Amino acid sequence: MLKLGVPSKGRLMEQTFEWFAARGVKLRRTGSEREYSGAVEGADGVELVLLSAGEIPRELSAGRIHLGVTGSDLVRDKLADWSAQVAELAPLGFGHADLIIAVPTAWADVDTLEDLDAAAAAFRRQHGHRLRIATKYHRLVRDYLQAEGVADYQLVDSQGATEGTVKNLTAEAIADITSSGETLRANHLKILSDALIHQSQATLFVAMAADWTPDASMALDGLCAQLGLTSPRVPASL
Domain boundaries, the chain: 2-95+201-227, 97-199
Give the CATH H-level superfamily of domain 97-199: Periplasmic binding protein-like II (3.40.190.10)
Per-residue confidence band for 180, with pLDDT thresholds at 50, 70 and 90:
confident
Determine how many CB atoms are found less than 10 A away from the CB of residue 66: 29
CA atoms within 13 A on the CB side of 235: 12
Beta partners for residue 103, in sequence order: 190
- Rounded to the nearest integer, the mean pLDDT of the chain is 94
Say whether pLDDT at 238 is over 80.
no
> Which CATH fold would you assign to the domain 2-95+201-227?
D-Maltodextrin-Binding Protein; domain 2 (3.40.190)
Domains 2-95+201-227 and 97-199 are alike in CATH topology: yes
